[in-house]
Amino acid sequence: MPDVLILVGSESDKPKIEPAFEVLNKAGVSYEFHVSSAHRQPEQTAELVKAARKKGFKVLIAGAGLSAALPGFAASLTDLPVIGVPFAAGPLNGLDALLATAQLPSGVPVATVGIDNVKNAALLAIRILQV
């Protein structure tokens, strides 16, 4: 059973998240990857996140650019740890995604790594799993 659920909102984000696969593979941590948008497929995304604990996932990594809704959306639907990865995109080159991910309201916790820093997201997931 995979330990980490990795989500991105667009197929074009897959190359950005792939370095996390390498880190998790090297550490022997199992994961499952899905492209599912909080905006374009909210029901499908909600189902994935809500079912995560039952399926044995222990940590979620969610990458998103621009408004970066995916990490907060996921965190609002689960009590599992969520790690948000803001992606560089648009005219602000990821600053908007960083702020959107880091400045979520109280009660919707998302650990946030630096812009495009998917390796740190994977390393943080590994550390959470070791607790």
Domain ranges of the chain: 42-131
- Taken in order 121, 33, 60, 71, is the CA torsion positive or negative? positive
CA distance linking residue 35 with residue 45, whole number of Å: 9
Q: Considering only the top CATH level, what class is 42-131?
A: alpha beta
Burial label for 109, CB within 10 Å (0-12, 13-18, 19+), is: middle
Parts of the chain with a pLDDT under 70: 131
Burial label for 106, CB within 10 Å (0-12, 13-18, 19+), is: exposed
Residue that is written with structure tokens 């880190």 in the block: 23
pLDDT at 131: 66
CA distance linking residue 76 with residue 78, whole number of Å: 6
End-to-end Cα distance, the chain = 18
CA distance linking residue 34 with residue 124, whole number of Å: 19
pLDDT at 51: 98
pLDDT at 1: 82
3 state DSSP class of 98? helix
pLDDT at 103: 94
Bridge partner residues of 63 (DSSP): 8, 85
pLDDT at 105: 92
Joined together, the tokens standing for residue 118 give: 């998917």
pLDDT at 67: 86
